[in-house]
A and B are shown apart, each in its own frame.
Chain A
Amino acid sequence: MRIPRNLEVWRLGTVNYLKALKLQEKLASDRKINKIPDTLLSLQHPPTYTLGKRRTDYNLLVPESELKNMGAELHYTQRGGDITFHGPHQAILYPIISLRDIGLGARKYVENLESTMTELSSLYGVKAHGQRKCETGVWVGDRKIGAIGVRISAGITSHGLAFNIDPDLTFFKHIVPCGIADKDVTSLRTETDLVLPDDEVIQEQLVSCFARLFGYNDIIWKDKNVIEIDG
């Protein structure tokens, strides 16, 4: 008999990158000792460039000092993947879940993250696809609409996915996004003919796609102010 699985979703609004990282680290260690259930952070970031464990900063095309002038931060992280940009109107999901509990490996987990974004895209009539060999992420034709960068430590996930609802795509011109030089970045706004609802609605839909794909029976929604969580 299958034990029902719940997903606790924290709606965090816009959060500074480092604050979100600190929160994830705390939640991941709580999750490891089963102090909390599988938890999903749903948020956006102010303009932020991030690098993965391989530190591929040769894919940053402008000096770091110029980023400050643009009003953007730069952070080095332990996640997989190359350089990317996060900013307003990009939906971020950071699942802090136990892969061991559900018997998923990295490859299948990432495939499910891709499917989360392709399903969401299809709600707006956009035909996106993932599972491109050697190019993890979600694409509409040759244009990238969703990115993935994940960390798995002691079987617990952190970091996650970033889906472009309607971010300022010019920010991507200052990097070789995800280390892929000859492909464009796109957004839901660019690809769909439909009028988009508020970001919050789209983010909730994204969470629902995630929950369904990962087989959660129930979603417990929590609205959190991350400043309160800091303590």
Chain B
Amino acid sequence: MALRIWASSTANALRLSSATGPHFSPLSRSFSSVLDGLKYANSHEWVKHEGHVATIGITHHAQDHLGEVVFVELPEAGGSVTKDTSFGAVESVKATSDINSPISGEIVEVNSKLSSTPGLINSSPYEHGWMIKVKPSNPKELEHLMGAKQYTKFCEEEDAAH
């Protein structure tokens, strides 16, 4: 854990960023399965808030605990999501698992690639495996979510519990 935090602070200090936005740290990604600059729910979804749009997906920890995703059910654009309520589901190892939205808002875009390539959730949970884009109706909800360090600790505690 110390190594991860060191790596992400180093990345931040060096101001490493990808072309997609100032808050991403590709270096920390190779050391860590938790990305800086994202917000996290305790049901293991992540939110990337950029301007008026928030992108939502599930974390590396979540996809690892699910196993290989073979099917994804997503809502249609134009619909709405409510904080802590299910908006879709994934199937892996003969289990369908609900996916919950960390925030409320209007769905503006849905990742259509996931119906033909559900495995993107496993191979690229923070990038190509994104699920929906939402216009947040209540941006304050983002403040209640965890940051990277807090989420990392949360995962470790959860895994140690059994």
Task: Give the B-binding residues of A (Cβ under 8 A).
Answer: 52-54, 78-81, 102-110, 134, 136-137, 148-155, 215
Give min CB distance, A205 to chain B, whole Å: 23
Stretch of B5-13, B45-53, B84-92, B128-136 that contacts chain A: B84-92
What residue of chain B has the Cβ atom nearest to residue A148's Cβ?
B94
**Would you call A110 and B91 a contact (CB within 8 A)?**
no
Q: Known contacts A105-B66, A134-B68; decide if A80 and B93 are in contact (CB<8 Å).
A: yes
**Chain A residues with CB below 8 A from B91, complex form:** 52-54, 80
A155 to B95, CA, bound (A): 12
Q: Which of B59-75 contact A (CB under 8 A)?
A: 62, 64-68, 71, 73
**Would you call B96 and A154 a contact (CB within 8 A)?**
no
Question: CB of B43 within 8 A of chain A?
Answer: yes
**Would you call B159 and A154 a contact (CB within 8 A)?**
no
Task: Give the A-binding residues of B (Cβ under 8 A).
Answer: 43, 62, 64-68, 71, 73, 86, 89, 91-98, 100, 158-162
- Pairs across A and B, CB under 8 Å, 9 listed: A78-B89, A80-B96, A102-B161, A104-B65, A148-B93, A148-B94, A149-B94, A150-B94, A154-B86
A108 to B158, CA, bound (A): 14
**Would you call B67 and A102 a contact (CB within 8 A)?**
no
**Would you call B95 and A109 a contact (CB within 8 A)?**
yes
**Chain A residues with CB below 8 A from B73, complex form:** 53
**Would you call A52 and B96 a contact (CB within 8 A)?**
yes
Q: Known contacts A54-B71, A153-B98; decide if A103 and B162 are in contact (CB<8 Å).
A: yes
Give min CB distance, A41 to chain B, whole Å: 17
Interface centre among A52, A78, A80, A102 (most CB of B within 10 A): A80
**Would you call A154 and B98 a contact (CB within 8 A)?**
yes
**Would you call A79 and B159 a contact (CB within 8 A)?**
no
A148 to B94, CA, bound (A): 7
Give min CB distance, B91 to chain A, whole Å: 5
Interface centre among B64, B94, B159, B161 (most CB of A within 10 A): B94
**Would you call A105 and B65 a contact (CB within 8 A)?**
yes
A106 to B68, CA, bound (A): 10
**Would you call A110 and B98 a contact (CB within 8 A)?**
no
What residue of chain A has the Cβ atom nearest to residue B86's Cβ?
A153
Partner of B65, one of A52, A53, A79, A107: A107
A23 to B7, CA, bound (A): 49
Give min CB distance, B126 to chain A, whole Å: 18
**Would you call A152 and B97 a contact (CB within 8 A)?**
yes
Give min CB distance, B116 to chain A, whole Å: 14
What residue of chain B has the Cβ atom nearest to residue A82's Cβ?
B94
Interface centre among A78, A105, A107, A154 (most CB of B within 10 A): A105
List 12 additional A-B contacts (Cβ < 8 Å) besides A107-B92, A153-B86.
A53-B89, A53-B91, A102-B161, A107-B65, A108-B65, A110-B94, A152-B95, A152-B96, A152-B97, A153-B97, A155-B43, A215-B162
**Would you call A151 and B66 a contact (CB within 8 A)?**
no
Partner of B67, one of A81, A107, A137, A154: A107
A115 to B94, CA, bound (A): 15
**Would you call B94 and A151 a contact (CB within 8 A)?**
no
What residue of chain A has the Cβ atom nearest to residue B96's Cβ?
A80
**Would you call A103 and B158 a contact (CB within 8 A)?**
yes
A158 to B65, CA, bound (A): 18
A215 to B162, CA, bound (A): 9
A54 to B91, CA, bound (A): 9
Q: Known contacts A53-B89, A106-B65, A155-B43; decide if A150 and B95 are in contact (CB<8 Å).
A: yes
Give min CB distance, B125 to chain A, whole Å: 14
Give min CB distance, A161 to chain B, whole Å: 10
